[in-house]
Amino acid sequence: MPKRAEREESPPDAGESESKGTTPRARKVQRHRGYRKVATHSGYSATIPSTAAARDVTANILSVNEVIRACKWAPRLPKSVSYGSDTSEYADRLQLAMEESLPPKSAEVIRGSVEVFARQAMNDAVQRAFDAGTARVSVNNMMAALRPVAPSLRYTFMAPMGLIRHAQTTLIGSEDAQSPALAVSATDEASIKTEVSAIRAQVALSNKKKGEADERKAKRVARREELQKQREKEAAGGAKTA
C-alpha cells in the first residue's frame, strides 16, 4: 500500500505528459478554446444576447491578408474544369489574381462588407445545422444559407467541378465490380464533352496571363536596375566634385 501511494503522488514523466498533450482530443480542445476566445473578442457572447450578431463587430475576425487572398483567388489547375463550359468567370478571376493590385488600405474597406456577409452566412448555416440536430455545419447547410443571395452575387458558389469530374471518371472497387466514385448522368456526359473546349481555352488563357505577368516582372526588375545604376552614377559624380 505505501508503494502504491508513492506512485500516485509522484509527478508524471515529462515525455508522458507531452504525449498526452498532443493527443487528437487535446488538440481539438485547444482549437475550440481558441475559437471561443476569438469569437468572444470579436463580439459573440454566450451571456449577452444580440439581435444582430452579424453586425455587432467589436473586432474583425478576418485579417487583411485573408481578405486579399480571398479577393485574388483563382483556380490553380487550368487543365481541370473550373466553371463548366463558361470561361468568363475563369478569365475574370485570373485578371483579378494576376493583373489587379489590392493595397492593404483598400482591402480594409472590402473587409468591412466581407465581415458582415461572412458572419451572416455562418450564423444562418449554424442555425440550420442546430435545427437539424447535427453538430457540424454541412455543405448542404451552407448552400441553403447562400442560396437566397445567389442572384445578387457576381460570381458563383458551387461544388468544385474539377473534383466532381475527377470522381466521376475514377473507378473504385474490386476488379470484378468497379464503378465510378460518383455516378454519371446523361446530362453529365454531355457536359463533359462540351467542357473539353473550355479546358483548352483555360490553358491558353492561363499561359497568356503568366507570360504577361513574367514580362511585367522583367520590366520592373530592369527598371530597378536602371535606377540603381543612375543613383550610383550620380553618387560617383558628386564624390568627384567634392
pLDDT digits 0-9 by tens, 22-67: 788 889 899 889 988 888 888 887 777 777 777 878 888 899 999 9
Domain boundaries, the chain: 26-59, 61-167
Cα–Cα distance between 139 and 163 in angstroms, integer? Answer: 15
pLDDT at position 4 is 42
State the pTM of this model.
0.71
Which pLDDT tens digit goes with each residue over 156-176? 877 778 888 888 888 888 888
| 122 touches 42 (CB < 8 A) | no
Instruction: Give the integer Cα–Cα distance in Å for 144 and 132.
Output: 13
Residue among 203, 206, 201 nearest 98 (CA): 206
What does the alpha-carbon distance between residue 39 and residue 153 come to, in Å, rounded to a whole number?
Answer: 27
Hey, what's the cell of 127? 442555425
Nearest-angstrom CA–CA distance, 80 and 87: 12
Q: Does domain 61-167 have CATH number 3.40.50?
A: no
- DSSP, collapsed to helix, strand or coil, labels residue 72 as coil
CA distance 125 to 118: 10
Q: Is 179 a residue whose pLDDT tops 80? A: yes
